[in-house]
A and B are shown apart, each in its own frame.
Chain A
């Protein structure tokens, strides 16, 4: 089975531009979460989606938005990019249910804003 897949793997954007990152969860997983990991820090929660609805939002500005599609894949959009948005963006999928051992992370998208 394929794991969590993210695209693109690397991206370079200019300040003020917009970016869309994509994630496909593990087959059968209905929940997708997005995290931002700045170099040298732990991941910070951005969004969680379950059954195509937003179920959680972290402390990020409105420039960040996301959505989940009927096939449970997800997109993260960031508008008006700032230098500080440079980070590794991680997508994680979750099956759910008692005893589930947490997320499976994708390999991430490395975003560099210049």
Chain B
């Protein structure tokens, strides 16, 4: 079946430290893996995505790595800032017309 597992469900990090969120997916046919950030009272906002032909992608303080063999991908946030506090969702596309989301990680940056 189409399943995405996300860990941890909550994460507290000291400001300036790095945060890592991990997701695993069930189907090797998956080809697209976006990450969304959701702030309180707002909609999910795409922050970075990666496709199956790439192992790593970086955008300033944010990076995503993909291990197709192990069927997992991770979000890395370096030099965390208070405004990084939010709920983060990973997602995967299983070759159909929808995104299947992970269960979310509530990230809190401690000043």
Q: Do A and B come from one complex?
A: no
